[in-house]
Structure 1
Amino acid sequence: MFDGSLAAMAVFTGPDDRMVYANPAFARLFGARPLGRPARETFPDPDAYRFLGVLEEVRATGRACQVLGARRTDPGDDAQASHFVYACSPLTTADGPGILVVALDTSAETWTLQRYEALVSAVSQMVWVMRPDGTMEELVPGWERLTGTPWYPRADKGWYDHVHPRDRERLGEAWRAALRITSPDVFEDVYRLRAADGSYRHLAIRSVPVLRDGSVAEWVCAAADVEDTWRSRLRERMLAQVAAVSGTGLQGAFCELVKVIVPELVDVCLILLLSHDDWPLPENATVTARRVASATGPGLPAPPALRGQSVTLSPTVRGILESRVPRTFLFPPGGPVPPDLVPAVTERWLAAAGATSITLTPLVVGDTVLGYAVTGTNGDSPVPTDSETELLREVLHHAQRPIRKVLDLQQARRIALGLQRTHLTEPPSVPGAELAARYRPASSTGEIGGDWYDAFVLPDGTLILDIGDVAGHDLTAATAMGQMRSMLRTLAYTGGPDTTPATVITRLDEVTEGLNTASLATAIHTSVRRRTDGGWDLAWASAGHPAPLLIPSRGPARFLAGTPDLPLCVVPGAPRTTHSHLLEPGDTLLLYTDGLIETPSEALDVRMRELAGEADRCRHRALPELLESLEEFSDHRDDIAMVAFRTTAEP
């Protein structure tokens, strides 16, 4: 009956376990073995002692025994070993008690498993099986090598404790959602796992459901360490985002930069810029650092409002900036933050938010240290590793290019503003009248306007008031502004007592067109002469400029009538008109540029009515205070130039 069996079978009898029968399958698996000899002689193989021990146990106890662990033959020479499992059972023979040995050749299955393990080992950190009851069996070991702790047989018994606190809840919820699906698909996720050295590494997990009879019998899970790949992609993504930073002004650029850093690398980021332009810093000079940008990660309180809070540089911070090497400070959650590193308002916020560390990284552009970045971790977030600090340093280093652009633009703007202010002189002192002027550049540090005003007295005592605006927001517009202002001043001064404002504007248009000074500009040229009765004769010509605003001593504010002519540089030789008005004692005349009234959200006529109303409310204020109040009426998007003239009440 046993001769034709596919299973290897043999019978042993007697106290020395003599082999009295072996079928052909047994001979194929273990080779030819002599019959009638004790088992110790029949199986002299080096590792046969385990098998002989099982025979003795079965003979002594009378109970069957199964050996399912991995077993292999030793064929010798270069022949390939065979893998098997076997069972020993008590048997009654004609010669007395005996033992039946049944062995199954598992070579094909073992070789397939070895190939599978080799494959998954090449692409995965570890492989395990998870059953519906939550128990887990590790197939390809790797857990202990990565984490430094033994494998946990259940996910809810210590395994999740190694997952990063910020990933734990998300990963658990996603996994529970996958388990609730009747016909689940492959589950994939990337999360951070705590390594043996305390750092966290990114693992990519892929879990495939094994279905039996239409239901999930188990999940086969594989995890691969993708830290290097993840960090490389993060670096590329962050550097691309930094390269795209184009905020308006230095503060705007840093406000965009902190949003790149948080929460990708840290929980909080704060930028402080030095108040001192010289580098290296003077040894005994008091230098402060001012908050200009901040950002916090999800779940943390909003950072304090940016209101110019500053901190005086301590020797510690000076040392970090001079060395240009980042430094990390550790402290207990909610504990006191090391003093004199950040403004007091930030110290209080860090303590309230449960900060555990801050890292100071110098901000270097070229050879100059502009300030430093303060990055922090809060709560259960781990302290940044050396590689994370180095990545942060690299990100800040690559921010040099967009910040340098902003700095260059600011430098050009400072030059243009300096050029403008050299032309915007203080108004003269005029008997019987008050004068005030005001210029305010746009809030956008990326724009340079061409607005100007002028006020001067001719040899015959005539007061000249001019206001103008060259199209454009760059250094070219500022340069053209200076040229046109000088030309208008010269034409008015040399024109003679009978020259009208229209004549002066016409000549200015001709000269500007002939010298190609500007592509487009608007202007108002006025002359004011005092009368013996205390009034003033006002004459003006407008080249496409907003109408003058009159705030009379009696009655509501209104814009002086007179349709403006074409702007300058449009149609050379176009006719120009001189308008006139009698200013009574106590009247106020305001000339202004369009930045005061133009906004994207309201119609121009609406804004002009609102300006007149605002002027009415401020009519009794001194001229400098009046201009200051009207300046707040604008939306600060564009440059503003204003010049005001007020007649006194006495003749």
Structure 2
Amino acid sequence: MSTESGLDPAVFDDTVAAVALLAGPGDRLIYTNSAFTRMFGPRPIGAPVLEAFPDPDAWRFLSVVADVRATGHARQVAGAREPDPGAAEQARYFVYSCSPVVTREGAGFLLVAMDTSAETCTLQRYEALVSAVSQMVWVMRTDGTMEELVPGWEKLTGIPWRPHADEGWYTHIHPRDRERLRAAWQAAAVDGPPDVFQCTFRVRAADGSYRHMATRGVPVLRDGRVAEWIAATADIEDTWGARLRERLLAQVAAVSGPSLDEAFAEVVKVVVPELTDACLILLLSSEEWPLPERARVTARRVASATRPGLPAPPALRGQRVTLSAAVRDILESRTPHTFQFPAGGPVPPDLVPVVTERWLVASGATSLTLIPLVVDDIVLGYAATSSNGDTPVPGAAETELLRDVLRHAQRPIRQALDLQQARRTALGLQRAHLTCPPTVPGADLTACYAPASSADEIGGDWYDAYPLPDGTLALDIGDVAGHDLTAATAMGQMRSMLRALAYSGGPGSGPAQVLARLDEVAEGLDAAPFTTAVHARLNRRDDGRWLLVWSNAGHPPPLLIPAHGDPYFLTGSGEDPPLCVVPGFARTAHTHLLEPGDALLLHTDGLIETPIASLDDGQRRLAAQAARHRGEPLPELLERLQEISDHRDDTAMIVFRARRSR
């Protein structure tokens, strides 16, 4: 590299870096290698530096030469060479270094230039790219300090960027997202080998609202160790909101429920905890709209849900609140309204039932939003949603999304309303036929009908009791297949026909003949597709006992509850097939004597039938329950017997008890 007389320039002949040597008076150019000539063109060897480099932009490295001469220390500087106007080539970028050396011609300077155009263009393209997609780009070093490369934090939040995570910016993260953000960083940077860090979280914007941000960061490794993390953060609020809206609307569209209460119970599960901490549905007691001005209108709790971590909501027991003027105004304007209050109360009165007010205080609620529930231009009630603890009060965007989701619940709610109306019609039809039993000398007689708990169970159960022309007491129990308005209508027809046939049959027409005749008429008139029934007759004897004659067409057998001994079922010699199944079947009759104090129960299968147990098991439970409560008055006895039902199906019961002689 050097000789006794100084640096030998020949050592730079084949280097890829551009090299030039200056030495002697006037800093004459004494050497350039081929790389220098290719980059900067031929230069006159032996000419002073100012003559050798007359280029307009040569001042940059010439000033560095002057500085090195003055200080005796090497210098490095970056620079660019612009092309001539109209030239096709682009600007080129260099890193120049200047070092003092001793040459054969005395003290001089070694000039080295490296072309960094490719690297510089790559960096410029990256900066342009991240700027074009509106991302914040930042770097975190191993000491925890952070630096924005592409800024945006202050524009978003209204506060300056802080170089440390614990200097205030972390408080701008939504409280519900902080732990998830910590967990994502822990998984990527702490718990194992460095991995890609990515997380979506909400940041409080300058206007107080929260916006969803997505961050993705990668570790930069040097010598096998993490030197820093570089990350990009993008605002995805619009995309996130659109996707959430689509998902929630799809979920609420899939809601189904046979009753309004059950449909709304599914709706609140959709909005909690995605959109609110808690949601309560209240339905109006009045079906009249607009609401009567002076009438007292109440709202009943029908469904509620709370996010995990909050106290359980109070049980739904039909609690009501009388509508205040404030609630009426919200419902009539059909516009949501948010009430804010300090955590721990007091809660504005008369917005929700008292039990809910207490829950709001206990759960640290800070706001309550009332949203009218409108279906087919009728206000059914309202939803009450709350923010609790450190959850921010919902803004206009969150409230509007919640309102939109509830509005799209109209289809399942309308279906429940239609089903509810059909149920009311069917129940009205059934109850119109289920008249009070007559007074019977020497006996007690009570009947009851209990509709199913599910709104789609509105079937064809019936009972009947009436005196025949000869004084005989007739008892009927029956069940038409189906659970809809058609079944209820067929029930009315079968009940009326059975009563008419029994009454007009004459002395020689017993229970078997009456059911056979009913079977023939129902088949001929196509009145019902499948019906079970028991037709029984009771006559009091002189000794105080009662003679029971009955015929059973595929129905659960009567239960005898004797004054003494275990209850048992009257199966006779076996059951005949149901009506409208085997035309012309010769039906049979059975007899039994009831002692004073004995009771006879006729019932439909809804009392004993469950999906998880056999009919025999249901009969055993019924007999045991009857034995426990046999001495109670008949209305109380029927209430006790009803306790064994799971209420999935309609139930009709009629019970007769022979009085004891005094």
TM-score, structure 1 as length reference: 0.90
Q: Distance in 2 between matches of 1:454 and 1:350?
A: 51
Alignment partner, residue 411 of structure 2: 401
Q: Distance in 2 between matches of 1:426 and 1:441?
A: 17
One of 588, 591, 616 as aligned partner of 2:599: 588
Alpha carbons 2:21, 2:32 under 8 Å: kept: no
Q: Distance in 2 between matches of 1:137 and 1:27?
A: 41
Alignment partner, residue 5 of structure 2: none
Alignment partner, residue 621 of structure 1: 632
**Cα drift, residue 431 of structure 1:** 1.7
Alignment of 1:104-503 (within 5 A): 104-123=114-133, 125-180=135-190, 183-503=193-513
**Cα drift, residue 457 of structure 1:** 1.0
Secondary structure of the structure 1 residue equivalent to 2:649: coil
Secondary structure of the structure 1 residue equivalent to 2:586: coil
Alpha carbons 2:258, 2:419 under 8 Å: kept: no
Deviates more, 1:253-262 or 1:554-563: 554-563
Judged with a 3 Å threshold, the aligned counterparts in structure 2 of structure 1 residues 452 and 291 are, in CA distance, closer, same or farther, namely same
Alpha carbons 1:452, 1:469 under 8 Å: kept: yes
Alpha carbons 1:273, 1:370 under 8 Å: kept: yes
Q: Distance in 2 between matches of 1:230 and 1:169?
A: 20
Q: Distance in 2 between matches of 1:317 and 1:65?
A: 78
Alignment partner, residue 617 of structure 2: 606
Secondary structure of the structure 2 residue equivalent to 1:436: strand
**Cα drift, residue 134 of structure 1:** 3.4
**Cα drift, residue 286 of structure 1:** 1.2
Alignment partner, residue 565 of structure 2: 555
Judged with a 3 Å threshold, the aligned counterparts in structure 2 of structure 1 residues 298 and 401 are, in CA distance, closer, same or farther, namely same
Q: Which amino acid aligns with 2:480?
A: V
**Cα drift, residue 51 of structure 1:** 7.3
One of 523, 527, 531 as aligned partner of 1:513: 523
Judged with a 3 Å threshold, the aligned counterparts in structure 2 of structure 1 residues 576 and 173 are, in CA distance, closer, same or farther, namely same
Q: Distance in 1 between matches of 2:105 and 2:350?
A: 96
Judged with a 3 Å threshold, the aligned counterparts in structure 2 of structure 1 residues 457 and 237 are, in CA distance, closer, same or farther, namely same
Judged with a 3 Å threshold, the aligned counterparts in structure 2 of structure 1 residues 396 and 596 are, in CA distance, closer, same or farther, namely same
**Cα drift, residue 143 of structure 1:** 3.1
Secondary structure of the structure 1 residue equivalent to 2:177: helix
Alignment partner, residue 80 of structure 2: 72
Q: Distance in 2 between matches of 1:315 and 1:552?
A: 60
One of 621, 624, 645 as aligned partner of 2:656: 645
Q: Which amino acid aligns with 2:377?
A: D
Secondary structure of the structure 2 residue equivalent to 1:499: coil
**Cα drift, residue 395 of structure 1:** 0.6
Unaligned runs of 5+ in 2: 1-8
Judged with a 3 Å threshold, the aligned counterparts in structure 2 of structure 1 residues 148 and 549 are, in CA distance, closer, same or farther, namely same
Deviations 1:623-644 (A, max 9, x none): 1111112112211111110111
TM-score, structure 2 as length reference: 0.89
Secondary structure of the structure 1 residue equivalent to 2:302: strand
Alpha carbons 2:189, 2:195 under 8 Å: kept: no
**Cα drift, residue 650 of structure 1:** 3.0
Judged with a 3 Å threshold, the aligned counterparts in structure 2 of structure 1 residues 56 and 359 are, in CA distance, closer, same or farther, namely farther
Judged with a 3 Å threshold, the aligned counterparts in structure 2 of structure 1 residues 19 and 461 are, in CA distance, closer, same or farther, namely farther
Alpha carbons 1:9, 1:101 under 8 Å: kept: yes
Secondary structure of the structure 2 residue equivalent to 1:607: helix
Q: Distance in 2 between matches of 1:342 and 1:32?
A: 91
Alpha carbons 2:189, 2:197 under 8 Å: kept: no
Q: Distance in 2 between matches of 1:610 and 1:3?
A: 108
Secondary structure of the structure 2 residue equivalent to 1:348: helix
Q: Distance in 2 between matches of 1:56 and 1:334?
A: 75
Alpha carbons 1:29, 1:82 under 8 Å: kept: no
Deviations 1:480-512 (A, max 9, x none): 100100000110011012211000010111111
Q: Which amino acid aligns with 1:119?
A: L
One of 560, 563, 578 as aligned partner of 1:567: 578
Secondary structure of the structure 1 residue equivalent to 2:361: helix
Alignment partner, residue 641 of structure 2: 630
Judged with a 3 Å threshold, the aligned counterparts in structure 2 of structure 1 residues 430 and 60 are, in CA distance, closer, same or farther, namely same
Secondary structure of the structure 1 residue equivalent to 2:560: strand
Alpha carbons 1:469, 1:523 under 8 Å: kept: yes
Unaligned runs of 5+ in 1: none
Q: Which amino acid aligns with 1:557?
A: P
Secondary structure of the structure 1 residue equivalent to 2:311: coil
Deviates more, 1:332-341 or 1:372-381: 332-341
Judged with a 3 Å threshold, the aligned counterparts in structure 2 of structure 1 residues 197 and 8 are, in CA distance, closer, same or farther, namely farther
Identity fraction in percent:
68
Judged with a 3 Å threshold, the aligned counterparts in structure 2 of structure 1 residues 405 and 215 are, in CA distance, closer, same or farther, namely same
Judged with a 3 Å threshold, the aligned counterparts in structure 2 of structure 1 residues 182 and 610 are, in CA distance, closer, same or farther, namely closer
**Cα drift, residue 61 of structure 1:** 5.4
Deviations 1:450-486 (A, max 9, x none): 1000011112211111000111111111111001000
**Cα drift, residue 82 of structure 1:** 2.5
**Cα drift, residue 56 of structure 1:** 7.1
Secondary structure of the structure 2 residue equivalent to 1:483: helix
Q: Which amino acid aligns with 1:222?
A: A
Q: Distance in 2 between matches of 1:57 and 1:274?
A: 88
Q: Which amino acid aligns with 1:622?
A: P
Q: Distance in 2 between matches of 1:161 and 1:99?
A: 56
Deviations 1:517-574 (A, max 9, x none): 1111110001111223322221111111111112222333222241211111111111
Q: Distance in 2 between matches of 1:359 and 1:159?
A: 29
Secondary structure of the structure 2 residue equivalent to 1:429: coil
Alpha carbons 1:30, 1:73 under 8 Å: kept: no
**Cα drift, residue 6 of structure 1:** 5.0
Judged with a 3 Å threshold, the aligned counterparts in structure 2 of structure 1 residues 631 and 72 are, in CA distance, closer, same or farther, namely same
Equivalent residue pairs, number: 644
Judged with a 3 Å threshold, the aligned counterparts in structure 2 of structure 1 residues 55 and 377 are, in CA distance, closer, same or farther, namely farther
Secondary structure of the structure 2 residue equivalent to 1:455: strand
Deviations 1:342-394 (A, max 9, x none): 11221221222122222111100011111111112222222223222111111
Q: Distance in 2 between matches of 1:453 and 1:624?
A: 15
Judged with a 3 Å threshold, the aligned counterparts in structure 2 of structure 1 residues 151 and 96 are, in CA distance, closer, same or farther, namely farther
Q: Which amino acid aligns with 1:312?
A: T
**Cα drift, residue 131 of structure 1:** 3.9
**Cα drift, residue 168 of structure 1:** 1.7
Alpha carbons 1:33, 1:42 under 8 Å: kept: no
Alpha carbons 2:27, 2:108 under 8 Å: kept: no
Q: Distance in 2 between matches of 1:329 and 1:145?
A: 30
**Cα drift, residue 446 of structure 1:** 1.9
Judged with a 3 Å threshold, the aligned counterparts in structure 2 of structure 1 residues 185 and 38 are, in CA distance, closer, same or farther, namely same
Alpha carbons 1:522, 1:545 under 8 Å: kept: yes
Secondary structure of the structure 2 residue equivalent to 1:643: strand
Alpha carbons 1:203, 1:225 under 8 Å: kept: yes
Judged with a 3 Å threshold, the aligned counterparts in structure 2 of structure 1 residues 147 and 33 are, in CA distance, closer, same or farther, namely farther
